[in-house]
Chain A
Amino acid sequence: RKEVEQDPGPFNVPEGATVAFNCTYSNSASQSFFWYRQDCRKEPKLLMSVYSSGNEDGRFTAQLNRASQYISLLIRDSKLSDSATYLCVVIGSSGTYKYIFGTGTRLKVLA
């Protein structure tokens, strides 16, 4: 089993739709979690960190469920410009600080 798993998609949604992605992780001692966005043939860019209490940044909401070992990303009122691959990142337990990336979930927002 991979350490971090994501549904690769693609998720095709109309403009204005709400879409959610999940990401599961296998190491229950994982400490930190992030969502990165990657446009085609570009580098990953930090979208948001994921906090235990959940956090929101505009149309984006991230949540962490430690009991079930997954994080989620919710995008409301999707824009065409949201089309990208969304990468889940988990930092492992103390003593190792490697970023472990999921394979990414591809989102296409359609006009």
Chain B
Amino acid sequence: GAGVSQTPSNKVTEKGKYVELRCDPISGHTALYWYRQSLGQGPEFLIYFQGTGAADDSGLPNDRFFAVRPEGSVSTLKIQRTERGDSAVYLCASSLNGPTDTQYFGPGTRLTVL
């Protein structure tokens, strides 16, 4: 079956601009996660959704970052006033029922802020 998909695969933007990154989880998976991975580092947790609600957003670095999952399926990560330090690969993952289930990752969106 289809895995986790993310769009766009690459995004180049200018400092100060607004970006939206989209994640389409595996069908039927109720839990969705966003991570950020910088070069040479492991993925860093940002936020976890159970259904439509954010169950844990403790990893969001500041209030420029926001994510939604209005219908409990597709999620959008929104970054306002982008900074060069936001450049990274943003990974989305989903799991069947919750965090104790295996997380399956999407291919990521490579964000470059110039």
A99 B103 Cβ-Cβ under 8 A: yes
Q: Could you say which of A45, A98, A104 contacts B45, with CB atoms under 8 Å apart?
A: A98
Q: Which one of A43, A87, A100, A102 has the greatest number of beta carbons of chain B within 10 Å?
A: A43
Q: Map CB proximity to A onto B88-108 as digits: 1 under 8 Å, 0 otherwise.
A: 000100000011101111111
**Minimum Cβ distance to chain B for residue A111 (Å):** 25
Contact (Cβ within 8 A) B59 A98:
yes
CB of A77, distance to nearest CB on chain B (Å): 26
Partner of B99, one of A4, A8, A91, A104: A91
Chain A 85-104 per-residue mask, 1 if CB under 8 angstroms from chain B, else 0: 00100010000111111111
Interface residues on B, range: 20 to 34
Among residues 17 to 66 in chain B, which have CB atoms less than 8 Å away from a CB atom of chain A? 33, 35, 40-45, 48, 56, 58-59
Give me the 6 closest cross-chain CB pairs, A-B, nearest first: A97-B99, A101-B42, A43-B105, A98-B45, A101-B43, A103-B42
Q: Which residues of B contact A99 (CB under 8 A)?
A: 33, 35, 43, 45, 99, 103
Q: How many A-B residue pairs have CB under 8 A?
A: 49
A44 at interface, CB cutoff 8 A: yes
In the complex, the answer to whether B42 meets A87 with C-beta atoms within 8 Å is yes
| Residues of the B chain whose Cβ atoms lie less than 8 Å from the Cβ of A102 | 42
Residue of B nearest to A104 (CB): B42
Contact of A98 with B99 in the complex, beta carbons under 8 Å: yes
Closest Cβ of chain A to B85, distance in Å, is 18
- Choice from B40, B98, B107 contacting A43 with Cβ under 8 Å: B107
A sample of 4 more A-B contacts (CB under 8 A), given A96-B56, A101-B42, A101-B44, is A43-B91, A46-B103, A46-B104, A97-B100
